[in-house]
Amino acid sequence: MGLAVSGCGTVPGGAWDDYPSSGPARPYPSRVDVIRCNSQDHRYSRCEADLSRGDDVRLASQDSQSPCVAGRDWGQDRSAVWVNNGCRATFEIRRRY
């Protein structure tokens, strides 16, 4: 899937069973990738992941005592999942084909 960057990595497997539905069924197949991303020493860190297709990202498990609040401590753009403020977490990416 992605390029491993300091504080980042991919892990096999993943589940999406508890992800809430946000509307009608999607007419495209998907797969789930899992990525770990760590804010070391409370610094901003990017974990490269191609999200250019509008893939959905969710926090699957928080691995830090520091909070991981979406939009403040973690987020995404078209090319990465990012973390900050000591957030360490595992994220699931639902890929759109």
Domain residue spans of the chain: 8-13+31-96
Residue 29: predicted pLDDT: 58
What is residue 22's predicted lDDT score, i.e. its pLDDT?
53
Per run of 10 residues, the mean pLDDT along the chain (length 97 residues) is 48 46 57 95 96 91 97 96 98 88
Q: Minimal CA–CA distance to 8: which of 37, 49, 50, 44?
A: 37
Tokens at 33, concatenated: 């990738």
